Amino acid sequence: MANIPKVVEKVVNHEMCTGCGLCVFECPSKAIEMSWNESGFLVPKVVGECDDNGRCLTVCPFNPVPEEGVKTEDELAEKFLAEDIHHHAKVGKYKGIYAGYANEYRLSSSSGGLATYVCSELLEQGYVDHILSVKESQSEGRYYEYAVSSSKKEIAASSKTRYYPVTLGTIFSELDKLEGKVAIVGVACFVKAIRLSQYKNPVLKEKIPFLIGIICGGLKSRFYTEYLAQKAGASHGFQQPQYRIKNVETSAGDYSFGCDDVKTHAHKTIRMKTVGDMWGTGLFKSNACDFCDDVTCELADISLGDAWIKPYHLDGKGTNLVITRSHFADGLMVQGIQQGKLSLENLNIESLLLSQKGSFNHRHTGLSFRMRSAQKNGVMVAPKRFDQEKVSFDFKIVQKLRMNTRKKSLVLWEKYSNASIFDEKMSFPLKKLKLATAFYHYKKAALNKLKLNRPQ
């Protein structure tokens, strides 16, 4: 019987893959390649004979049996980030915390334009020669993919958020052909995979001296894009999906999805507020994301997200949350402020935690329940730092319902691929989840109020 690649056996077969593709790069026998699965995600597929050496598993961010020295993000941070900076258990290592925007790129970006600014500065200052980031795809069957940018003009083409499956699997193998140094933009699991690859291949530490982390609310299946295109009215197929079309007259959360109808060439849009909650419900989300406890992309040199707190989220032009994790990254921010290129304010750690409150609650507080549920079903789960949190009975109900809506959404779209049927069949599960979540928050608020009013 042919050997099964370890990453397929221990990760993919347990629905714990987010599609980073570093296993493809690491596989010496070229036994795997990235391919679409039935749920609309890119995952490794066996295409050749496996020599069973297990190297593919060593760079997987969801490896259930990692080396002790790289067991979690904490151990990796000690190896790759500066020692003389701050540390917080929920945030990781950090030098500075900011909220603000890049004056030149704000309006052309999905948020505050900091990702475009950092990439442009890295190139212009000669710190790196190339950037790997997500752009419109030139490959058939994909809307977006990782591509190389070597100029400020090319970087501008990748300045938008893409909620679409991508992989580093193919392009990472091309690094040797690029002269000079490279910076990479990625979400937490992708950044962790790169750090693991640098740990196994020290030459990559010099080749990739800077990582830009994007704070992520969960990776979406390609079904998410197909669903939104239909909801927007693109009934004949679509192209050029856009996920964060700003409304500068309202708030940061009041953005729209848009795409072009293939047959009519009309540009179709839909306000995401009219679609409903696509993030707190877990719709179209990767199962592996429910087993990630890295909320703020802890292993990047700089982490960028949205400042979802007052007064910033009230500004429809967009405001970034910025966490620097190296002296060089923090120097870029300070220099940008001094040169008038950046409008940034310092944030305290409490404001940072509040800005990502929902994600911390789901990924840290609820994680232990999801881990126990998975392990009871024979699923192998990677070691986690927040696996001993106490979970209340009412929050366990929320977790069960959220896990159900996530799974059901993928099954239904694969079966029907019809937005009307999908909405009808998901209506009751979503109502149950909404009620359970509302009760959980009401009870939690009531208990907190009692604690505050209790005599000392």
Q: Domain-by-domain residue ranges, the chain?
A: 6-58, 68-220+285-355, 222-275, 360-453
Q: Which residues pair with 182 in a beta bridge?
A: 130
Instruction: End-to-end CA distance of the chain: give it in Å, rounded.
Output: 68
Q: Quick one: CA dihedral 188, 191, 192, 193, positive or negative? A: positive
Contact yes or no for 263/80 (Cβ under 8 A): no
317 burial (CB, 10 Å; 0-12 / 13-18 / 19+) is middle
Half-sphere exposure of 170 (CA within 13 A, CB side): 12
pLDDT tens, 83-113? Answer: 899 999 999 999 999 999 999 999 999 999 9
pLDDT for 2 equals 66
318 token code pair:
């967009």
Work out the angle at residue 315's Cα, subtended by the Cα atoms of residues 312 and 321, and round it to the nearest 5 degrees: 35
pLDDT for 385 equals 96
State the amino acid at position 70 in one-letter form. Answer: V
User: CA distances (Å), 300 to each of 37, 199, 234, 385, 447, in order?
Assistant: 29, 14, 37, 18, 37
Contact yes or no for 297/187 (Cβ under 8 A): yes
pLDDT tens, 343-358? Answer: 999 999 999 999 999 9
| Sites in the chain below the pLDDT cut of 50 | 1
Q: Quick one: CA dihedral 426, 431, 432, 433, positive or negative? A: positive
The b-or-e profile of 125-153 (16+ CB within 10 A means b, else e) is: eeebebbbbbbbbeeeebbbbbbbbbeee
pLDDT for 451 equals 73
- Please count the other Cβ atoms lying within 10 Å of the Cβ belonging to residue 381: 19
How long is the chain? 456
Q: Which residues pair with 147 in a beta bridge?
A: 133
Choose among 272, 352, 299: nearest CA to 72. 299
Q: Which residue's structure tokens are 């419900």? A: 281
